[in-house]
Amino acid sequence: MLQRRPVILVFTRHYLPGFRAGGPIRSIANMVERLGDEFEFRIVTSDHDMGDAGKYAGVTGREWSRVGKAYVWYVNPQELSLSALRRLVGQTPHDLIYLNSFFDPWFTIRILLNRVWGRTQGAPIVIAPRGEFSAGALALGRAKKSVYLGITRAIGLYAGLHWHASTEHEKEEIRQALGRTAEGRIRVARNLSQAVGDECMRWLGRPTQSPIRICFLSRIAPKKNLDFCLRVLSRVRAPVNFAIYGPVESASYWNECQALISALPEHIRVIYEGEVRPADVLSILSRHDLFFFPTRGENFGHVIHEALRAGLPPLISDQTPWRDLATQGVGWAISLQDVQGYVDAIEEVADWSTEQSRQCSERARRYAKSLDQDDELVSSNRRLFLGALRECA
């Protein structure tokens, strides 16, 4: 007799067919694709993409819809009252609950309030903070977050949970933020990339003596630090064509960035290209010479991996797991305090010969492929769930 697959009930603010929320969507989708034959994933998520007022076209809410290897329940978050969530959890057979934010008021906090008040069954809960405890992320709205952390510790909202850290560094961030609340219950499992074969793009060489082609691809929001890119570029002497891709999440922040763009010297040319569909990311990245992403904090950074797959060296902050880029000879991970370091990296790439660029591109592609084929990454994610299930058996 075949053994029943454990059912993982996932709560996340955004999921497929959405894409504007970026990394968390891809992290869960990749997990479903890699582990969906071993676990049954049931995902509760918004019925619209980030920033959209209207629902997804062709998506039926309030019923389980098959999406890839998972079943998805689409709902308007405003309808997720405590009682509605209690009914949904109670009516959905599951072995484990997987939450994908620490601060989300609808898809995390209300689930945990029902648990603390004894209104839901006692299935184990795994929570993935998704980089929310990085120094850069906590600095945004620090006062409110500090008050919230104090209140939740007092009422035991997060007591007894299991924690998913993507790296040892994030494990330490969780431990520092929560102390005894998370002690001994943090498992490290790196976020999974998309399962690919030989689909890495080939870098399209830079025309002789043309400006260096740099791109930024992410949500336009303070955490992603586009304004830092612009401040660095204001100090670069080499001619640059800088392309910005991504949805505007914060209009006021985008206004600040536009003011910085208008003050750049003439040899720095900037163009906003809008948002990018996931299927087009690799081909767009492959048209550039450098990926500039000085993020304030990522627990993984799927777009960094995609840049490497496209043969594009990343120039990023040291607030991500990708801290070995320089030792691998495929890019740079620099402190946000070292502005000149970013300037020097851009000037270095601008001076590269065609052969130097080609060699770096090939190293980047090989490095990305080696990560895609690492079976231990899948095993660690499998152990994340099986370990929590065993502890509560």
Kindly calculate the radius of gyration of the chain based on its CA atoms and give it in whole angstroms.
Answer: 22
Question: Fold match between 7-192+374-391 and 212-372?
Answer: yes
Amino acid at 377: L
Question: CB under 8 Å to 365, separation ≥6 — which residues?
Answer: 200, 202, 203, 308, 309, 310, 311
Q: What is the pLDDT of residue 202?
A: 56
Q: What is the pLDDT of residue 1?
A: 36
Q: How many CA atoms lie within 13 A of 347 on its CB side?
A: 11
Angle, in degrees to the nearest 10, between helices 354-372 and 302-309: 120
Cut 0.85: pTM above it: yes
Q: What is the pLDDT of residue 60?
A: 83
- For 120-132, the pLDDT digits (tens) are 667 999 999 998 9
Statement: residue 135 has pLDDT above 50: yes
Domain 212-372 has CATH 3.50.50.100: no
Statement: residue 367 has pLDDT above 50: yes
Task: Dump the DSSP string for 60-111.
Answer: PSSSEEEETTEEEEEE-GGG--HHHHHHHHHHS--SEEEE--SS-IIIIIHH
Taking phi over 0 as left and psi of -120 to 50 as alpha, with beta for the rest, 308 belongs to alpha
Could you tell me the pLDDT band of residue 139, with boundaries at 50, 70 and 90?
confident
Statement: residue 392 has pLDDT above 80: no
Dihedral of CA atoms 346, 260, 284, 68 in degrees, nearest 10, equals 120
Q: What is the pLDDT of residue 22?
A: 87
Of 41, 17, 24, which Cα lies nearest the Cα of 92? Answer: 41
Question: CB under 8 Å to 177, separation ≥6 — which residues?
Answer: 133, 138, 149
Of 360, 369, 366, which Cα lies nearest the Cα of 206? Answer: 360
Mean pLDDT of all residues belonging to the chain = 92
Q: Six-digit token pair at 376? A: 């231990």
Amino acid at 63: E
Q: Say if residue 390 is exposed, middle or buried (CB neighbours under 10 Å; 0-12, 13-18, 19+).
A: exposed
Angle, in degrees to the nearest 10, between helices 23-35 and 375-391: 80
List the domain boundaries for the chain: 7-192+374-391, 212-372
- For 197-219, the pLDDT digits (tens) are 445 455 566 666 789 999 999 99
Q: What is the pLDDT of residue 2?
A: 46
| Beta-carbon count within 10 A of 203 CB | 22
Q: What is the pLDDT of residue 204?
A: 61
Name the residue with higher pLDDT: 103 or 153.
103
Q: Quick one: DSSP state of residue 20?
A: T
For residue 269, give the H/E element and its range.
strand 268-274
The CA–CA distances, whole Å, from 244 to 121, 226, 257, 330, 350 equal 46, 9, 11, 22, 19
- For 11-43, the pLDDT digits (tens) are 999 999 999 998 899 999 999 999 999 999 999
Statement: residue 236 has pLDDT above 70: yes
For residue 306, give the H/E element and its range.
helix 302-309
Strand pairing class (162-165; 240-245):
unpaired
Strand-pairing partners, residue 98, are 10, 126
Domain 7-192+374-391 has CATH 3.20.20.80: no
Of 200, 206, 138, 205, which Cα lies nearest the Cα of 174? Answer: 138
